[in-house]
Structure 1
């Protein structure tokens, strides 16, 4: 207990560094702006690429915001928080990873004058949250409802996403692959929509061949071969059994040792093992399968029994691949062979084939009835090209998925941000008190997307943005749909150019950017307990006591 009302004293270690008050806030703002400046040039169709060297010495060539920031090593905690925003955006909606960082960095930048003028951060944060509500309403007001059955609409949206990426040079190829894959995994259960592209649309990259050879399989493929060379590698209308248990003798879990007193005991043990394996195989073979696939191992004896019955076996397959096979073949993954029933056998896959591509064997299960999972086979000249196309494919599939879940679109090319900025400026004039200035600053920050697009096009930024601002200030129904054509650098009606973005992506961008800026602005102290190694210059003289000793 402390005597009287004396406050407790916090003693900081000599190695602890502190930044407090305005100094900490300004440092956070600088860090946020620095991260935004790194990827500012990667926005839009005329974006630049970044060459990254990873710790293993590999090279990554990309203009994907999330991929760039994932490879960057930063020390400042505010910069790390900014990088996490990009990852969150990618996991949630799959697109807008660059926009969210640029917008968050600008929101931090416009708050700097208020902190230097000694406006309390809580007032700034309060104004930012009010602006967020108004921004979401403004974005919703110009959204249009679309039909997800219309494949052309989905292609236009995916094209808007891919148009800013490296793979745009191959025209509609990647767009068609993405929309086909999303359509395949789309499930509508009485109004409950499920589009799980992460688990059920797998991208398989095989270097070599032309990019035009890429396709979406009506089924799945995986990098495995049969366990025995004499097993069949081509089967039409196969009966498929899926297991996640080993087809080999299980060593007794409870028995730790076996005592053998005479030489026949070893033969008895071997016979018992063989009988156990035979029993497992008989339980499977009674259903007359053509293909048996398991996630675990298969013993040599089990392979022998299956080969005699002309059954092809694939072992040690990934859990995720097994789930996809279950979806396309109609089979049920079983834990115990003894419990297998006729209803567990998959018959929806009409072709099982193993092909040699390059030096590797790949198993194809194709021509499936209404597959709710698929594999996307990507071919290309080099691994770098394939990796970049894979990143672009993920973005395009995520965008198509978002539209299927929430079928609302908003104009792209910075049009929606300029409309939000215009609406916030109008609302800002009606706000009284100290929150008016931060509220209007948010409107100014939203213009950064259009300004960055103009910069990356190489056009006259001031003239283009001023012209666009004047267009949005006009009081007519067409004004909100004007943005910057990223290819020509001129302002254009986004409905005519055909650049649309999902409303879900824009909403998530606004929420993530503003909430992250508010969180960073509320930090008034950064305490680090990491000790810095002391620098030694030259030989250190011994202490007098040591010399005497």
Structure 2
């Protein structure tokens, strides 16, 4: 007869409970936020990251820094995930969200040490978040997206803290132009997806950054398959395929029995006829260019060359869909299904050029294109990679402005205003939740404090002045000028942030802090690695609980 079940707990299982787990999570969150603390603002420091392959990345982008860092603590991993979520959702504010979330965790430490229940802290935090979001909506300013200068205000502020700022309006001009091209043919609610899909960044080392431009069309890193094919065509007729132009062999066991000498010749002739038939289905629509995502056999190239058609093969699926958007062509699965309506005629010029060591095919001068290629030129790959990261942030900000055209003053002015208003409302909050509610208000000051610290300013004096300004009426626009470290009016020096980015920063930071504070037990079931020498034969010590009787 079998006794009660045996519960075996490995002695190597780590476990942290209660206050110890909560304080450990706070410490881990603070450690992660300290990493990116110096990368906030226009006078921020850069971080040099060494990847496992020996490559070097120099950047001040919070998400790019944190994704290269390897951490073991689960709370620290959760914090790093915040930067990635922020980057995917709104594309900007990755550094701010980490710094703010770390500060929210630190603000909760005194309450945990005084044995205030985490639920009370979380309730206060959520009440503060709710009020903060309503304050943001109240102070946001509507802008007219048809006026270029109003959109450029926010784009320039986004780029102001980045490496690309030294080239003036170059990156913001590129991102605004690209967003407007993609907007022509898209649903504004799906703009984020469409910008990623239809605005492709092509990095070409060499040349100067001033040569960077937005093509109202598509550029792909491909050449025609035969040297005698035309490399420049005006108003081309374009056919797009996603099938192979080759003879299709039979499936699995296809045996051919040859009984006379002419059988091999007949089989080869059959292949030629099959490919010729396929090419005739294409040639009857009189195309100038045929582009396929798969391979093209030598025989098919021969027939198409005789028809004066240029062929490009093994094009990426994403490139093919962009060519379809600018040329008006439809991607077809089988040549025999081609119709006249599938042929693209909107492209003005097709041209193959050699840039550096590579050949590039250009589809330009299109009629109202709804896809584009952004060409970045630069001296080295490091510069180009950093410019690309800055450009992606700027594209995300442009997308946010078109989806929700509201701006807030930057430079820590919003955080100080929300902080001042929360402190006014704190007296109306009943019960124990009032203390964490006030803690959120004080924690928001970390953004202007960090901005002034990164400029080398006197942080205490700047914050005291800012508090005084925001306690008065009409002090909304006062913030820290990130270049000088002095207090300035943000509407006068043109520092703005999109409402959607700031809302996402507040929500992500406070909600993640609440989630981490509610953890009171961290159990790790990962076994410690056994020491290689002398312990390989030993069994791991185990503790047993329960009844171990045998019948």
Q: Same fold (TM over 0.5)?
A: yes
Contact 1:351 1:367 in 2 (8 A): yes
Q: Are positions 1:83 and 2:80 aligned together?
A: yes
1:249 to 244, 247, 250: 247
Q: Are positions 1:186 and 2:178 aligned together?
A: no
Residue of structure 1 equivalent to 2:487: 491
Contact 2:100 2:509 in 1 (8 A): yes
1:376-403, Cα deviation, whole Å (9 max, x unpaired): 0100000000000000000011101100
Residue of structure 1 equivalent to 2:329: 331
Separation in 1, partners of 2:505, 2:188: 27
Contact 1:188 1:194 in 2 (8 A): no
Residue of structure 2 equivalent to 1:93: 90
How far apart are 1:468 and its partner, in Å? 0.5
Separation in 1, partners of 2:72, 2:300: 55
Separation in 1, partners of 2:7, 2:374: 59
Q: Over the residues paired in the alignment, what is the CA RMSD in angstroms?
A: 2.1
Separation in 2, partners of 1:354, 1:215: 18
Separation in 2, partners of 1:97, 1:39: 10
1:191/1:230 CA distance change after superposition, 3 Å: closer
1:237-271, Cα deviation, whole Å (9 max, x unpaired): 11111111111122233x43314242544433322
How far apart are 1:458 and its partner, in Å? 0.6
Following superposition of structure 1 onto structure 2, how do residues 355-394 of structure 1 map, counting pairs within 5 Å?
355-394=353-392
Following superposition of structure 1 onto structure 2, how do residues 407-418 of structure 1 map, counting pairs within 5 Å?
407-418=405-416
1:423/1:266 CA distance change after superposition, 3 Å: farther
- Structure 2 unaligned spans of 5+: 540-551
Q: Are positions 1:471 and 2:469 aligned together?
A: yes
Specify the SS of the correspondent of 1:288.
coil
Following superposition of structure 1 onto structure 2, how do residues 203-242 of structure 1 map, counting pairs within 5 Å?
203-242=201-240
Contact 1:187 1:194 in 2 (8 A): no
Residue of structure 2 equivalent to 1:291: 289
Aligned residues: 537
Q: Are positions 1:60 and 2:47 aligned together?
A: no
Q: Which has the higher contact order (CA 8 A, sep 6+)?
A: 2
Residue of structure 2 equivalent to 1:443: 441
Separation in 1, partners of 2:45, 2:489: 25
Residue of structure 2 equivalent to 1:533: 529
Per the normalisation by structure 2, the TM-score is 0.94
How far apart are 1:15 and its partner, in Å? 2.4
How far apart are 1:14 and its partner, in Å? 2.4
1:36-69, Cα deviation, whole Å (9 max, x unpaired): 0000100000000000001110000100011101
1:88-147, Cα deviation, whole Å (9 max, x unpaired): 100110000000000000001111111111111111111111111111011111101111
How far apart are 1:540 and its partner, in Å? 9.8
Specify the SS of the correspondent of 2:204.
strand
Runs of 4+ more than 4 Å apart: 188-193, 536-543
Separation in 1, partners of 2:390, 2:212: 14
Q: Are positions 1:29 and 2:26 aligned together?
A: yes
Following superposition of structure 1 onto structure 2, how do residues 161-200 of structure 1 map, counting pairs within 5 Å?
161-187=158-184, 194=191, 196-200=194-198
How far apart are 1:193 and its partner, in Å? 6.9
Residue of structure 2 equivalent to 1:523: 519
How far apart are 1:188 and its partner, in Å? 7.0
Contact 1:329 1:368 in 2 (8 A): yes
Specify the SS of the correspondent of 2:373.
strand
1:522-545, Cα deviation, whole Å (9 max, x unpaired): 1111111111123467799999xx
Separation in 2, partners of 1:501, 1:348: 38
1:253-303, Cα deviation, whole Å (9 max, x unpaired): 3x4331424254443332222222111111111110101111111111100
1:303-354, Cα deviation, whole Å (9 max, x unpaired): 0011111100000011111111111111111111111111111111101011
Q: Are positions 1:500 and 2:474 aligned together?
A: no
1:190/1:41 CA distance change after superposition, 3 Å: closer
Separation in 1, partners of 2:160, 2:18: 44
1:443-483, Cα deviation, whole Å (9 max, x unpaired): 11111111110100110000001111111111x2x212211
Residue of structure 2 equivalent to 1:124: 121
Q: Are positions 1:350 and 2:348 aligned together?
A: yes
Specify the SS of the correspondent of 1:22.
helix
1:442/1:283 CA distance change after superposition, 3 Å: same
Residue of structure 2 equivalent to 1:459: 457
- Structure 1 unaligned spans of 5+: 544-549
Residue of structure 1 equivalent to 2:544: none
Separation in 2, partners of 1:249, 1:212: 48
Specify the SS of the correspondent of 2:348.
strand
1:280/1:454 CA distance change after superposition, 3 Å: same
1:232/1:536 CA distance change after superposition, 3 Å: closer
Contact 1:142 1:410 in 2 (8 A): yes
